Amino acid sequence: MLIGEVAERSGISARMLRHYDSIGLVSPTGRTQGGYRRYSEEDVRRLFHVEGLRSLGLSLRDIADVLTDLSFSPAAMVEQLVARTRDRLAREEELLRRLGRVRATEPAEWSDVLRTIGLMRGLDAGDPSARQRVALSLSGEGDRDAVPLAEAALKESDPNVAGALDWALARTGDGAVPVLAEALDSPIAARRHRALAALVKIGSPDASAVLADAFRHPDPVVRGRATLVRASRGAADTVPALVALVVEGRDDVEAADALGGLASRHGLADEIAGAIAGALAGATGAVRRRLASALADVPGPRAEAMLAGLVDDPDRGVAVTASFLVRARRSDG
């Protein structure tokens, strides 16, 4: 077949066929009676072989090596292609993320776009002190910086920079809250915990509402902080979780304070005393001491009776704690 016929049947342009010929990748090896160069069946097979390899992402130089190297390993080349494709997808995903951050700022002019790009570059600087300076230099201009700041905060590992980013986020208002709320469900623990810290720092009603809704979260760190926030809003359904925090010894002081607040301000003293009594039944050692301490701010006769019963507890720490609290109650009364 002549070049025009090959182009028509294969869908490969004549220009590309001539390029293949010029670099020696696929050249017509036959001749017509009139002296015109003609593609043999073997040439056409080689041409489709080349196109097949191109569809896998190989460069023309790679294809030439594949076709000339008899020791070529298809498996090795496929592994290289997989690695290249992953790298390309990672670059494209990063570009997509950057474009999303720019779009989220709702730019009205190109100067807004360029400012956001400059901010993102500054927040991506390799030097932690440079990232911190960028975060501290922001003037808190509402939602415009919220999404880039949130994304930077979610991936920050340096504690000083993270603190500066959380401070900057708190000054932008609630624009970052949706991004941070989504990050609470990230499969990456560090990202979840950074989102948690930022939401706590923002501390607005919207941020607190997101945290309050996460009190059944599977991540114990998120769940514990969310429980405390929900309890501060007077939610009675947090009592079992607060007692569990006291038992675990994680955020136990804050949990005990929250129990006291729910008991005194929301009429849950009996329910809380009952929950603590249930936990005491199977507890030993330091757990019993923490549970006894948690009764400190729980008013009412049931809590008083429990403390009186703990004065003679075989664990000296529990007995001392209970005795001190009983005396404190009597002096306050």
For every one of its 333 residues, what pLDDT tens digit does the chain have, with 9 covering 90 and above? 888 888 888 888 989 999 999 988 899 998 888 888 889 988 988 888 888 888 777 888 888 887 887 666 667 777 877 887 787 777 677 666 767 766 776 776 767 677 777 777 888 888 888 889 888 887 655 567 788 888 888 888 888 989 898 888 888 878 889 989 999 999 999 999 999 999 999 889 999 999 999 999 999 999 999 999 999 999 999 999 999 999 999 889 999 999 999 999 999 999 999 999 999 998 888 999 999 999 999 999 999 999 999 999 998 999 999 999 999 888 865
Alpha helix positions (H), 23-138: 41-55, 60-68, 74-104, 110-123, 128-137
- CATH class, range 214-333: mainly alpha
Q: CATH 1.10.1660.10 in the chain, residues?
A: 3-72
57 to each of 46, 48, 61, 62, 130, how far by Cα in Å? 17, 15, 11, 10, 39
Roughly what angle, to the nearest 10 degrees, separates helices 146-155 and 74-104? 140
Burial-class residue 286 by CB neighbours within 10 Å (0-12, 13-18, 19+).
middle
- When the candidates are 3.10.290.10, 3.30.2320.80, 1.10.1660.10, 3.40.50.300, the CATH number that belongs to 3-72 is 1.10.1660.10
Start and end residues for every CATH 1.25.10.10 domain found in the chain: 214-333
Q: Is the pTM of this model over 0.85?
A: no
**Structure confidence by residue, pLDDT tens digits, 212-260:** 999 999 999 999 999 999 999 999 999 999 999 999 998 899 999 999 9
